[in-house]
């Protein structure tokens, strides 16, 4: 299975190169200072505005050649959907396996995409040995330090940013009681950031979460935390807003102002996992509203200089985490299941062009 995947990726990469450096060609357009033309990709348009436009990818999706080809041509950035998570990278204590993450890094390199690392620490998708063990604070601290140090060193120079800590806050702005918080207390966040910095002085270090796109208790908690980390000289470079939005819950309040206030703390902001789901079946009204929202998110990012880029959590309805998790919901991406553009695609294009 693994061999087949690697081979098909290599093949896709070779094809891309044979086709005349699809990844390199648009670069010339943007770098030459000319306005990208009608054939420009979303990433070309974003790059002309000093941003990247990307999409996550999960390893098995690389076997879907038309999907992988379009990912490699349309986008300038990717994030592994699962391949760099703890369960995948340290399946046994002290035994590391970077096969899945490396596969995506290789694909990204072959296609000229840069990579966000996701994620060093999360309450979910942890290996059983970690969750089922009983650890003293000293033991868990050393396990966490070793995990972060080893993974960050492995990907040094290969990822430009890390989601160091993912989803560490509750909706009410208190710390999530994950295994690290329960055993180590809130100081684990600063420790994690420091260990990541020690392992790679150049990579951008992010905190990342959902339901933080608008103002509210959860994004306030991150605002306060990042302000404190800065005051304490803890390395923190960015705040990731996942942006898993749903039409039925309304557009996040004051997204632009919220991005702006984080930028005001002296950190970058990235839209890291954008998708906009709806109740199925999708009708024309919902798709139009979705398009409007995609345009609004893009506008909100472009309005703030330190909003560095946008990543879709998969770009087509063909591969999306949503139907499996939210019964009766989906149609969340700008490309449909047949890799055809939806109204959302045109709305993003328009926002990136205007
Ligand atoms: O896309 C990921 C999916 O394949 C996994 O099954 C799921 C497990 O929770 O994680 C998905 O990605 C999540 C991301 O890592 C963090 N933010 C929420 C994303 C959607 O669940």
DSSP state of 275: E
Asked whether residue 25 is domain-assigned, the answer is yes
What are the C-alpha distances in Å from 139 to residues 87, 94, 121, 145, 344? 18, 13, 16, 10, 48
The rounded mean pLDDT for the chain is 92
Q: Read off the CATH number of the domain in which 73 is found.
A: 3.20.20.80
Q: Is 91 left (phi over 0), alpha (psi -120 to 50) or beta?
A: alpha
What are the C-alpha distances in Å from 192 to residues 124, 182, 187, 225, 323? 17, 15, 9, 14, 33
- Check residue 34 and give its pLDDT: 55
Asked whether residue 177 is domain-assigned, the answer is yes
d(CA 88, ligand 1 centre) in Å:
13
Residue count of the chain = 354
d(CA 11, CA 3): 12
Asked whether residue 4 is domain-assigned, the answer is no
Parent domain of 161: 9-353
Active-site position among 103, 151, 213, 273: 273
Asked whether residue 2 is domain-assigned, the answer is no
Task: Extract the tokens encoding 221.
Answer: 């908690």
CB 270 within 8 A of CB 308: yes
Longest dimension (CA), the chain: 59
Q: Measuring from atom 21 of ligand 1, which residue has the nearest CA?
A: 321
Atom of ligand 1 nearest to the CA of 56: 1
- Check residue 36 and give its pLDDT: 81
- Check residue 37 and give its pLDDT: 83
What burial class does residue 285 get, using C-beta atoms within 10 Å of its C-beta: 0-12 exposed, 13-18 middle, 19+ buried? exposed
Of residues 126, 57, 120, the one with CA closest to residue 321: 57
d(CA 81, ligand 1 centre) in Å:
7
- Check residue 38 and give its pLDDT: 83
Query: How distant is the alpha carbon of residue 5 from its chain centre?
Result: 22
Residue 273: active-site member: yes
Atom of ligand 1 nearest to the CA of 324: 6
d(CA 120, CA 201): 16
Asked whether residue 90 is domain-assigned, the answer is yes
Asked whether residue 1 is domain-assigned, the answer is no
Single pTM value for the model: 0.91
Q: Which residues of the chain have pLDDT under 50?
A: 1-33
- For the chain, the domain total comes to 1
Helix (H, G, I), strand (E, B) or coil at 77: strand
Torsional sign, CA 101, 105, 111, 113: positive
Asked whether residue 213 is domain-assigned, the answer is yes
d(CA 54, ligand 1 centre) in Å:
16
Helix (H, G, I), strand (E, B) or coil at 61: helix
Asked whether residue 75 is domain-assigned, the answer is yes
d(CA 209, CA 173): 12
């Amino acid at each position: 299975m693994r061999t087949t995947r690697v081979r098909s990726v290599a093949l896709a990469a070779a094809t891309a190169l044979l086709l005349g450096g699809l990844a390199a060609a648009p670069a010339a357009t943007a770098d030459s200072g000319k306005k990208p033309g009608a054939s420009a990709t979303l990433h070309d348009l974003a790059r002309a505005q000093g941003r990247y436009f990307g999409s996550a990818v999960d390893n098995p999706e690389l076997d879907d050649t038309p999907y992988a080809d379009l990912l490699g041509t349309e986008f300038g950035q990717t994030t592994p959907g699962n391949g760099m998570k703890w369960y995948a990278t340290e399946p046994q204590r002290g035994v590391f396996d970077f096969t899945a993450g490396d596969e995506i890094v290789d694909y990204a390199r072959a296609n000229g995409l840069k990579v966000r690392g996701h994620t060093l620490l999360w309450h979910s998708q942890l290996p059983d040995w970690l969750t089922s063990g009983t650890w003293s604070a000293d033991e868990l601290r050393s396990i966490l330090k070793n995990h972060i140090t080893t993974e960050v060193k492995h990907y040094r120079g290969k990822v430009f940013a890390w989601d160091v800590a993912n989803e560490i806050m509750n909706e009410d702005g208190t710390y999530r009681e994950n295994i690290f918080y329960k055993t180590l207390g809130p100081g684990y966040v600063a420790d994690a950031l420091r260990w990541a910095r020690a392992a790679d002085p150049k990579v951008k270090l992010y905190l990342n979460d959902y339901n933080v796109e608008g103002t509210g208790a959860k994004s306030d908690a991150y605002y306060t935390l990042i302000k404190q980390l800065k005051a304490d000289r803890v390395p923190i470079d960015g705040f990731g807003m996942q942006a898993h939005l749903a039409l039925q819950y309304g557009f996040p309040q004051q997204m632009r102002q919220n991005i702006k206030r984080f930028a005001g703390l002296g950190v970058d902001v990235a839209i890291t996992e954008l998708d906009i789901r709806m109740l199925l079946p999708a009708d024309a009204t919902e798709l139009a509203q979705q398009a409007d929202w995609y345009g609004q998110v893009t506008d909100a990012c472009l309005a703030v200089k330190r909003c560095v880029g946008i990543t879709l959590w998969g770009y087509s309805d063909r591969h999306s985490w949503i139907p499996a998790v939210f019964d009766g919901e989906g149609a969340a991406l700008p490309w449909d299941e047949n890799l055809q553009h939806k109204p959302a695609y045109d709305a993003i294009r328009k926002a990136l062009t205007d």
